[in-house]
Each structure stands twice: as structure tokens, then as C-alpha cells.
Amino acid sequence: MSKIIETKGKCRPNQTKFSFGGTSAIITILGLIIGLDGTANPKVAIIGGILVIALADNISDSLGIHIFQESECVDKKDVWLSTFTNFFTRLFVSLSFVALIVLLPMSVAVPCSIIWGMGLLAAISYMIARGRGLNPYPAILEHFSIAIAVIIASEFAGKWLVKRF
């Protein structure tokens, strides 16, 4: 059986099965979109980058979760459920960003991606905090701060990359 840390109420195991994958995909893809937006052909670079993340990085993270849970002696059924839930959550989140980039002009797709990503991050943060019986707003603020730091760092890295090469 999965071990669950309790704080002011019970965590919901089902939330943990999608929260890591969703959060990881959102923050990674927002960083990629912001970082590659200034390149010569951002649409192709971003879509290609997201698809690589949706497959290679996703499989890597899912395997990491799988092995971690095996090392924690989590029930085999729960290990596989977490592995697949993480994989498909990340895949669907990734594809939602691809849809925005494909369907919208870049000048609209980038801000829409930020709004979409932050909205998803807020929803995940809210559900987890409420599931733990906590005020969701500090959690949302904390997670937004991390996402914004990634966005800012990616913006600087992207600008440096374009200037350098």
C-alpha cells in the first residue's frame, strides 16, 4: 500500500498520481516556450522541443518515479498506476501546449501558454492544498513563484542563446 504523509487532514493518493507529472510538464514546457520564443523559427523549435519532452523526458521521469516507488516498497499495482498516470498526465499536458502553438500565432500563443500553464498550476495547487485541509493561496503563491523564476531564467537563457549563436 502507498505510504502517505498526513498533515492537517489526509492527502489524497489519487492527487499524487497526477500532480508530479502535471507540474513537471507545465513548468518545463513554459520554460521551453519562453526560452525558444526568440529563435529564428520559434514555432518549429518549440513544437519539436515539446514533443521531445513529451516522449523522452516523460519516459525518463516516469521510470524515475517507478524506480523510486519500488525502492520505497510501494505495492506493485500502485507503482504501475503511478508510472502510467504520470506518463499520460505529462503527455496530455504537453499536447495541450502543442495545440496552442500550432493553432495560434506566436504573438498570441506565448501569452496564452503562460496563462494556460499558470491556470493548470493553480488548479493542481488548489486541489492538493484543499485535499490536505490547508489554505490553497499560500501554496499557489509558492508554486507561481517557482514557475515565474523558471520563466525569467528561461527568458534570459533564450536571449543569451540568440545573441551568442
Neighbours of 159 (CB within 10 A): 13
Question: For the chain, what's the residue count?
Answer: 165
Assess contact for 86 and 65: CB atoms under 8 A: yes
- Nearest Cα to Cα of residue 52 among 26, 82, 32: 32
pLDDT by 10s per residue, the chain, length 165: 444 444 444 544 555 566 777 888 999 999 999 999 988 899 999 999 999 999 999 999 899 989 998 998 989 998 899 899 989 999 999 999 999 999 999 999 999 999 999 999 999 999 989 988 999 999 999 999 999 999 999 999 999 988 988
Question: Would you state the pLDDT for residue 74?
Answer: 87
Contacts of residue 77, Cβ cutoff 8 Å, sequence gap at least 6: none
Assess contact for 153 and 31: CB atoms under 8 A: yes
Backbone angles phi, psi at 72, to 5 degrees: -90, 5
Contacts of residue 70, Cβ cutoff 8 Å, sequence gap at least 6: 79
Question: Would you state the pLDDT for residue 16?
Answer: 58
- Nearest Cα to Cα of residue 45 among 162, 164, 126, 150: 162
Question: Would you state the pLDDT for residue 13?
Answer: 52
9 CA to centre of own chain = 26
Question: Would you state the pLDDT for residue 21?
Answer: 79
